[in-house]
Structure 1
């Protein structure tokens, strides 16, 4: 057993080479086709774009005294500015 090539492997390689020899035509891609491919890629990119929704988490300690809700809201609004 000399070499690692089997007879069937050589035949497959020859068949592949013959097939490639038959491809003599130029590949012609028009600008219209390129624009269409670019547009499709752009649409796919937009579809894959994920928007994140901001979330707010508010934690408070123990509430030990009574408070006026309007005062609390106004203080929160002041801190938010």
Structure 2
């Protein structure tokens, strides 16, 4: 039973989106940047203003599953 609970916790930790933005190459990181601060390689295909808007939209959408995963993780830990 303990192994099953540990597997559930591990699964929830892996599946949950990372929203910290510390890696400097993710949408949550780009949400806080101005158009001039977005790296040039990212702007080759998509213009910087569009990247800013899309990063805000994507970060908002990633927060919703995060809010679903966190209570499930707390419940799984409390059962172990």
TM, length-normalised to structure 2: 0.30
TM score, norm. by length of structure 1 = 0.29
Bigger helix share:
2
Larger radius of gyration: 1
